[in-house]
Structures are given as C-alpha cells and as structure tokens.
Amino acid sequence: MRFNRPPFAGLLILSLASSASAAFQYAYDDGVGSGNLAPSFSSSGSYPAEFMWGNVYNVTGGNDVITTISVAFGRINVPENRWVRLSLYQLTTPNDPRTATLLTSVEGLSGLPRTNTFLDYAITPTKVTGQFFVAATMIADASATAAPARYDLGGASNASNAWLFAATSLAGQPLGAAPFQVRMSEYIIPAAFMVRATAIPAPASVLALAGVLLAARRRRVG
C-alpha cells in the first residue's frame, strides 16, 4: 500500500523546526546605556565584595528555556579581563529575587569590547516558569576602579524589575541575606540594567504546538 503524505506535512515539519530553533531575547534596554554603577564601601560592607546586578523577566510566549545570558559592561579599567559570574534564578516570590532559587551559573571574563556591546555567556539550557532573574556578579574592590553595572534610563518603566546586591560573598545564601540590596525603582537612578537573556521554547512546547496544528488540520479535512 502506498502512503501519500498530506500536503501540509512538510509545512508542519518546517514550522516545528523553526519553532525549535527560533531564539527569543528578553531585554529592557534599548541598546544604548546611560551610565555605570559600582557599590560604595558603605553599601557593600567590606572589600573585596561580590557585586551583583540584573533584571527580573516574565516568561513570554513559551520561551522558557534560557540558553544565554548577555551583558554590556560599564567601566572596568585595569585589569581589563575581570572574573564574572552569570547566574539564572527561578523566582518564588512575585517580582522579588530575594527569595529566588539559583538554577545554574557560569563563570567567565568581562573582556572587550564594552560600553554598549553585549558579551554572550552560554549556560546549560535551563527551563524556567513564571518569572526568572538573570544577573552578573563581579568582585568590587576599595579602589573603585570598576563600575561594571551598565544601566539604561530608557528602561525606567521596568526599574522595579532591576536589582542590585552586594556582600562579601553571595554564594550559598539567598540574595535577601545580602547586606546591600536595592530595587532600582527605589533608587536615585530609576533604570534597568543591560543584562539580557536568550531563550527557546522547551521541547514540550513545540510538541504541544504540533498537536494543535494537527488537530486543527483534522477538523478542516474531517
């Protein structure tokens, strides 16, 4: 018996392939930063301190597997290539990363170029739900030669989703335990950070899309 493939099959396969490979970027900035921030001695408590900055995002359109965190750094100075940690958190309290759960992180170097150029850091593809927090962490020292957190005033409408943290160490503790923590909407500079996340749909989302397309096709030809 010869099987004739329905004419929509190729279109369906192409649609699924496109859905699986299409990347979606979460961002609040417009690509042009307004300034740079660093912790003060009083805010971080002591030096050296881990200084973290990042944004909370809402999962949109089924794009729930984070694959890359991208950062445009501010002022670094010597040494140019500084240690940086990129982290992905799952929120457990709406709009508040202080109780969030760390899902994955990766370490790298700040590198060049900087200012309004984004450097991409691949992470283990990780599924998130609801809201998530992506952040960069760098060691700040008393010389204040680095103001690495680049912000964009154009993202002021999302300043409530931008957060700063500083502590001697942020490892192994909730962000809410940091001695310095601030939401940018409550700070003197209402802005969002130039920290982005790239995502793709989870495989289950793609399969669900396939089911919807097939069901719709059957209804049309039935």
Per residue in 94-146, pLDDT (tens digit) is 999 999 999 999 999 987 767 799 999 999 999 999 999 999 999 876 555 67
166: phi then psi, degrees, rounded to nearest 5: -150, 140
What is the mean pLDDT of the segment spanning 151-180? 93
pLDDT for res 180: 87
Domains of the chain: 21-213 (2.60.120)
Of the listed ranges 16-20, 60-64, 200-204, 206-210, the one predicted with least confidence: 16-20
Write the CA distances from 54 to 13, 94, 210, integer angstroms.
37, 16, 35
Per residue in 177-213, pLDDT (tens digit) is 998 899 999 988 999 999 999 999 988 654 454 454 4
